[in-house]
Amino acid sequence: MKSLSLLVLIVVASMAITEVVDGAGECGRVPADRAALRLAPCASASQDPNADVSARCCSEVHTLGQNPSCLCAVMLSDTAKSAGTKPEIAITIPKRCNLADRPVGYKCGGYTLP
């Protein structure tokens, strides 16, 4: 069942990737729950702090991280939670990707981006 859910998440994410994130709200015109689908490649990295972070995941996190409030909204979204994302681990992904321009120290709910 978990594999089926992940497969559905990946299929929907591939359809959502072409959407532009601009406009009003944390992630523009795209709700954070929908923007969260872009982080499907980060599924294992957001659940296990020792899991490898894929280049695709890092690319998506870098893109969303250009707007730290969107990145936080996505990591704390209901979609991310239902996919098994652990926020305390997800917030470590920008650092694990070695993103030089990551929003270090940004308050993300009850968490702070390292």
Whether the predicted pLDDT of 20 surpasses 50: no
How does pLDDT run across 78-105, given as a tens digit for each residue? Answer: 999 999 999 999 999 999 999 999 989 9
**Residue range of the domain that includes 108:** 2-112
Whether the predicted pLDDT of 3 surpasses 80: no
In the chain, the percentage of residues whose pLDDT exceeds 90 is 77
Q: What pLDDT was estimated at residue 25?
A: 82
**Element at 107 (helix H, strand E):** strand 107-108
Split into its structural domains, the chain has a count of 1
Q: What pLDDT was estimated at residue 21?
A: 40
Could you say which DSSP state residue 29 is in? T
* Angstrom distances, CA of residue 30 to CA of 74, 97, 103, 112: 11, 24, 21, 24
Place of tokens 């280049």: 55
How does pLDDT run across 42-68, given as a tens digit for each residue? Answer: 999 999 999 999 999 999 999 999 999
